[in-house]
Amino acid sequence: MRVAVIAIAALTLTGCARISSLNPWGGGEHGGAGAPHGWSYEGATGPAHWGELSSACAAGREQSPVDLASSVAAAARAPDIRWQAAHSAEVLNNGHTIQVSLERAGGVVIEGETYELAQVHFHHLSEHTVDGRAFPMEAHFVHEGPDGRLAVIGVFIEDGERHAALDAIWEAAPSTFGEAALEERFDPRAFLPERTASYRYRGSLTTPPCSEVVDWTVMATPIQASAQQIAIFAHAFPGNARPVQPIGRRFVLRTP
Ligand SMILES: [Zn+2]
C-alpha cells in the first residue's frame, strides 16, 4: 500500500509518473511493455524475429553487439573524444529505453572524420559482453557522422557508487512513452571512465533495422551506479539487450 501512496503523490506533484517513482523492488508498471514500432525483446516480436522487419537483422555479417573477449591488442588509435556540457537535453521514454537527446554536446574524431554526439541511451543488461560476462547496464553515446555513418561509444555500468548525473535523468524520465526537458545541465564527460583503454570494431545498430553503419568503441573500464539506480532502470526495462552476434570475419581491436 505504501508504494501506491508514493506513486500517487508523484503523479499529483508532476502530473506524469517518472521511472524513479516506480518501486524498483516490487511488481507493477513497466515502461518497456508492449512492442512499439513492431519489435520488442521477447516472444513473437523478439530478437529472433527482427529479420522479418529488416533482413540485415537476420542476414547481416557485421551485427552488434558481440562478445569482446577475442580482442587483439593493437596500436589502433583511440577515438578523440571532444564532449562538452550539452546546450540542452530532453529525456525520452521511447518504449524500448530511456534516451537523452542532446544539442551541442561536442563529438568525437575518428580517422579524421568528425561525428556529432546526438543522444545517449541505456541498456540492461549490457549488450556487449566480455568472455560471456554481461555488466548490469551499458550506456550508448550515439554520434552522427558523414554519409549516414554512426560512431557509438559504449560505457559499461557496474554496481557500486551512486552516479550523480543518473539521478536527474531517472527523475525526469517518463514511466511510459513521453518526453521531458532535463533541467540539470547534462555533461557527457561525467560518464567517461578515467582509463581510456577501449575495444573497437565495425558493427551495426543493436535494434531494427540493424543497419551496418556503426563504428563501435566500447570502453574497457566500467563506471559505477548504485544498486538502486540500476534497479530503477531494470524495473522499467526488465531486459532491453540484444543477444551477442557472431563476430564472423571481423576483428575486435583493443587500444591502450
Ligand atoms: Zn543502444
Tell me the pTM: 0.91
pLDDT at 147: 92
| Residue 39 counted as domain residue | no
Helix (H, G, I), strand (E, B) or coil at 242: coil
Question: In angstroms, what is the span from residue 5 Cα to ligand 1's centroid?
Answer: 34
| Residue 40 counted as domain residue | no
| Residue 168 counted as domain residue | yes
Instruction: Write the pLDDT tens digit of every residue in 11-23.
Output: 444 456 888 887 6
Question: In angstroms, what is the span from residue 233 Cα to ligand 1's centroid?
Answer: 14
pLDDT at 27: 46
Question: In angstroms, what is the span from residue 121 Cα to ligand 1's centroid?
Answer: 6
Please tell me the total count of domains within the chain.
Answer: 1
pLDDT at 4: 42
241/123 Cα distance (integer angstroms): 6
| Residue 34 counted as domain residue | no
pLDDT at 1: 41
| Residue 132 counted as domain residue | yes
| Residue 38 counted as domain residue | no
Question: In angstroms, what is the span from residue 26 Cα to ligand 1's centroid?
Answer: 26
With 60 as the cut, is the pLDDT of residue 101 above it? yes
What are the E-state strand segments in the chain? 72-73, 80-83, 88-93, 98-103, 106-110, 113-123, 137-144, 150-159, 178-181, 198-203, 214-219, 223-225, 253-255
Question: In angstroms, what is the span from residue 11 Cα to ligand 1's centroid?
Answer: 29
| Residue 53 counted as domain residue | yes
With 80 as the cut, is the pLDDT of residue 31 above it? no
Instruction: Write the pLDDT tens digit of every residue in 21-30.
Output: 876 665 444 5
Question: In angstroms, what is the span from residue 99 Cα to ligand 1's centroid?
Answer: 9
pLDDT at 2: 43
**CATH code for position 181:** 3.10.200.10
Instruction: Write the pLDDT tens digit of every residue in 144-162.
Output: 999 999 999 999 999 999 9
User: What average pLDDT does the structure give for the chain?
Assistant: 90
Question: In angstroms, what is the span from residue 117 Cα to ligand 1's centroid?
Answer: 14
Please list, residue by residue across 18-40, b when 16 or more beta carbons sit within 10 angstroms of its beta carbon and e when fewer do. Answer: bbbbbbbeeeeeebbeebeeebb
Domain range spanning residue 172?
A: 2-26+47-255
Question: In angstroms, what is the span from residue 172 Cα to ligand 1's centroid?
Answer: 20
With 50 as the cut, is the pLDDT of residue 71 above it? yes
Question: In angstroms, what is the span from residue 166 Cα to ligand 1's centroid?
Answer: 17
